[in-house]
């Protein structure tokens, strides 16, 4: 009897053990390694590894290395390849000025570096692609109906009306490579749904809800808008949550505007790249890109809030010849950075709305006073007593000969570097307490820093916008910007500007950063070739 009871107990224990092993097997989902398309991840140790070797020569860049050192390859004429790893801006090469904004910031949901960047293609370059196509007897491509052409998102064309085309591509996660597109005039296909079940963009991802998010065209604002539909795992737009704060309530979030180059994150692994084509974008005379790189999870610490804000306006409202490009890096919160990013363009536009001021800038090729007054007015208007931010603004204007001028003003340690015909030009000054120029300035006002003193009231910056309380306590803080000389960029120059917060410059040298931008230009030549090859193959 005892033997039989022992056998029963052993049998029960074996069954329980098998059940536990089965549950562990189902929880781990080992089959996903064989049936899902996963993006490469960046290991913690890779942060210290140079992204581009110092000994890379310019002629070696043509070998099509991606940003992680792997060989960049086209996936076929019907698929425009997108490099994985550190996502970078893609734009058509130009003899005009190329202005790039790169923001390295911290919060994100995943370790893989699939991030945000915006890109606008100049109209003249789209026309150049069309000329290539026409030279191959493909002139009838442009005559195809935009409503009926399922491949129009791959064939650049100059938009001749006010319609807007939204294209979505899943760039990471189990459904990587899935695409869909819709026109703002296609009311029967709107709204566009994103989800795991019966959706327009179908994502086979267990972390994506059946009906996860929705995109619709706002007729009043003439903008695309994204809404979280009460998803369980939330929705991020450019690393910022857009779902309802109470995720368990299944309440819908508030609509948020979508722009070209945005990244929508559903759950934690599925990233969707947004491409918006409109007439206004094609009128931009240069390429514009913005990127952010999450770092909090790779450091193994708790999730940090996004405090970097980047922006650009070209042209400024009512001022066709002028535009601004900027970045603000907040500390103590993001409120000051948000305020400054809205106020600075407004102040610059208000100052330049005066025709005499505008003519003086054009005739003297100098906007120092405009930038100085704009910073002063912004500081006076900000009500941020316990939060502050760096501010770097690049003002760009065109003269009557279609040449460009660029001039920069900054506070803090968010830097701007320009490259004109291979010559690197530093457009900003470092305002950390440890920098020589700041220690000299502080010494000249009669309150020199002590030996080894690297912070003022706990901050490593001596100049910033906001932080009104600290400025009341210590007169050594300042909001007087450094203003660079104006840089002339003629139409035949190859030029670009790179604006980034300290998180970027702390790990990447200026030389490497320039190499990365040149690298992207070369990769775009491949993409241009892919576009033309696509036209050849699909329209023989």
Q: Which residues contact 287 (CB under 8 A, 6 or more apart)?
A: 89, 91, 92, 94, 98, 99, 100, 119, 120, 121, 122
Using CA atoms, how far apart are residues 424 and 499, in angstroms rounded to an integer? 13
**Are 253 and 242 in contact, with CB atoms under 8 Å apart?**
yes
pLDDT at 111: 28
Pairing status of strand 288-289 against strand 97-101: parallel
And the tokens for 508?
């990447």
Report whether the peptide linkage leading into residue 128 is cis, meaning its omega lies within 30 degrees of zero.
Answer: no
Cα(10)–Cα(34) distance, integer angstroms: 36
Euclidean distance between CA atoms 114 and 443, whole angstroms = 45
CB 397 within 8 A of CB 361: yes
What pLDDT was estimated at residue 204?
Answer: 92
C-alpha–C-alpha distance, residues 523 and 532, integer Å: 15
Tokens of 267: 């759950």
Alpha carbons 505 and 494: distance in angstroms, whole number: 23
Instruction: Give bridge partners of residue 264 from the DSSP assignment.
Output: 237, 272
pLDDT value of residue 313: 87
How far is it, in rounded angstroms, from Cα 38 to Cα 40? 7
Which pLDDT value is given to residue 230? 92
What single DSSP character describes residue 481?
Answer: P
Tokens 């007729």, residue? 219
pLDDT value of residue 302: 61
Strand-strand pairing, 465-466 and 388-389? antiparallel
- Which pLDDT score is estimated for 494? 81
Digits of tens for pLDDT over the chain (540 positions)? 777 778 888 888 888 888 888 888 777 766 665 554 443 443 433 333 333 344 433 333 333 333 333 333 333 333 333 333 333 333 333 333 444 343 333 333 332 333 344 444 454 454 454 454 445 444 333 333 344 443 333 333 333 345 788 999 999 999 998 989 888 888 878 999 999 998 999 999 999 999 999 999 998 888 999 999 999 899 999 989 999 888 667 899 999 999 988 999 999 899 999 988 765 444 567 777 777 655 544 555 566 677 889 888 888 887 888 999 999 999 989 999 999 999 999 999 999 999 899 999 999 999 999 999 999 999 999 999 999 999 999 999 998 766 899 999 999 999 999 999 889 999 999 999 999 989 999 998 888 888 888 999 999 999 999 999 999 999 999 999 999 999 999 877 788 999 999 988 988 899 998 888 888 766 555 444 444 443 334 433
Q: Say how far apart CA 292 and CA 114 lie, in whole Å.
A: 9
pLDDT at 521: 66
For residue 191, cis peptide bond before it (omega within 30 degrees of 0): yes
Q: Token pair for residue 234?
A: 């939330």
Q: In whole angstroms, what is the distance from residue 249 CA to residue 133 CA?
A: 52
Scored b (16 or more CB within 10 A) or e, 478-496 reads bbebbbbebbebeeebbbb
* Residue 130 backbone phi and psi in degrees, to 5: -60, -35
The first and second tokens of residue 365, run together, are 């090729």
Q: What is the DSSP string of 300-326?
A: TSPPPPP-EEEEEESSBTTBTTEEEEE
């Amino acid at each position: 009897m005892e033997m039989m009871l022992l056998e029963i107990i052993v049998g029960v224990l074996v069954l329980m053990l098998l059940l536990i092993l089965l549950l562990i097997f189902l929880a781990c989902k080992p089959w996903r390694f064989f049936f899902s398309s996963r993006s490469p991840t960046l290991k913690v140790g890779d942060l210290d590894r140079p992204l581009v070797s110092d000994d890379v020569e310019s002629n070696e860049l043509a070998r099509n290395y991606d940003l992680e050192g792997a060989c960049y390859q086209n996936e076929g004429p019907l698929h425009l390849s997108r490099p994985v790893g550190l996502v970078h801006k893609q734009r058509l090469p130009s003899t005009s000025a190329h202005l790039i904004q790169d923001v390295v910031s911290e919060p994100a949901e995943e370790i893989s570096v699939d991030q945000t960047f915006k890109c606008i293609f100049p109209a003249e370059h789209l026309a150049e692609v069309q000329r290539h196509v026409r030279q191959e007897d493909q002139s009838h491509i442009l005559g195809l109906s935009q409503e009926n052409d399922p491949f129009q998102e791959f064939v650049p064309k100059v938009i001749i009306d006010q319609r807007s085309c939204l294209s979505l591509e899943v760039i990471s996660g189990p459904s990587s490579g899935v695409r869909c597109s819709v026109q703002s005039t296609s009311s029967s296909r709107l709204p566009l749904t994103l989800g795991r079940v019966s959706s327009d963009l179908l994502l086979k991802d267990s972390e994506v809800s059946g009906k996860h998010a929705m995109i619709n065209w706002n007729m009043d604002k003439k903008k695309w808008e994204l809404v979280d539909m009460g998803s369980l795992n939330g929705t991020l737009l450019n690393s910022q949550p857009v779902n309802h704060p109470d995720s368990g309530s299944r309440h819908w979030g508030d609509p948020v505007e979508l722009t070209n180059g945005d990244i929508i994150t559903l759950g934690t692994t599925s990233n969707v790249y947004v491409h918006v084509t409109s007439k206004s974008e094609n009128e931009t005379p240069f390429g514009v890109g913005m990127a952010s790189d999450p770092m909090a999870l790779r450091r193994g610490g708790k999730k940090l809030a996004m405090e970097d804000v980047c922006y650009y306006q070209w042209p400024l409202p009512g001022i066709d010849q002028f535009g601004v490009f900027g970045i603000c890096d907040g500390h103590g919160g993001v409120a000051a950075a948000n305020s400054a990013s809205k106020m600075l363009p407004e102040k610059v536009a208000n100052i330049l709305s005066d025709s005499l001021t505008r003519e003086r800038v054009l005739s003297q090729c100098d906007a120092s006073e405009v930038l100085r007054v704009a910073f002063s007015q912004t500081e006076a208007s900000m009500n941020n007593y316990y939060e502050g931010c760096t501010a770097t603004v690049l003002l760009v204007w065109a003269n009557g000969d279609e040449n460009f001028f660029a001039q920069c003003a900054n506070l803090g340690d968010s830097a701007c570097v320009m490259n004109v015909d291979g010559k690197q030009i530093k457009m900003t000054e470092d305002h950390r307490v440890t920098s020589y120029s700041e220690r000299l300035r502080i010494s000249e006002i009669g309150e020199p820093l002590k030996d080894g003193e690297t912070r003022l009231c706990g901050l490593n910056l001596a100049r910033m916008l906001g932080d009104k309380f600290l400025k009341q306590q210590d007169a050594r803080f300042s909001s007087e910007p450094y203003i660079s000389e104006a840089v002339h960029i003629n139409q035949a120059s190859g030029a670009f500007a790179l604006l980034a917060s300290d998180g970027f410059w702390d790990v990447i040298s200026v030389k490497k950063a320039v190499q990365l931008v040149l690298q992207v230009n070369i990769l775009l030549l491949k993409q241009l070739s892919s576009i033309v090859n696509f036209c050849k193959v699909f329209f023989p």
